[in-house]
Amino acid sequence: MSDTIQNDTVVHLHYVLTDGDGKELDRSHGDEPLTYLHGHGNIVPGLEEALVGKSVGDELEVVVPPEKAYGMRTGKQQKVPRSAFSEGADLRVGMQVMSRDEQGRSFPMWIAKLQGTTVVLDANHPLAGVTLHFSVKVDGMREATGDELKHGHAHGRDGHHHHH
């Protein structure tokens, strides 16, 4: 087992994510690091690239351009009536909803605006077009289990499934 991050390493990360203005967008929770399986596209590509070869205890600042994060914004928005959603649905800006195209394939959209009885949906992830600034500390790593490799994602700190 290499002591640096490679493909198929399960990595525990503490991170704070801010945008270009220093506004905090996300962070790992307290003592609970983010656990991910490296090399399987579980985190944004730009961050994954920057972590290759790093070791436990390494701290880094990574600036990820939109192309290596959630992509550039495409101009696609659509308006749907509030009635298209279930009666008691708690709709919030930034919330992901599943939409279907003409072929019946489902794809995610995000609520961009709520205007009275109209909901404006956006095909872009809320962070599309945003340059992400990660402040990261590598907290630990281990080899992935066979199960994890099969599923393509980590199952928590110790390799077991956690049921929420």
Q: Say yes or no: 64 and 13 in one domain.
A: yes
Domain check: are 59 and 139 in the same one? yes
Task: Find the CATH number of the domain harbouring 45.
Answer: 3.10.50.40
The secondary structure of 92-112 as a DSSP string is -TT-EEEEE-TTS-EEEEEEE
Residue 2 resides in a domain:
no
Q: What is the pLDDT of residues 3-52, one digit of tens each?
A: 999 999 999 999 999 999 999 999 998 889 999 999 999 999 999 999 99
Tell me the pTM. Answer: 0.80
Residue type, 129: G
Report residue 109's pLDDT band, with 50, 70 and 90 as the boundaries: very high
Q: Which helix (H) or strand (E) holds 46?
A: helix 45-51
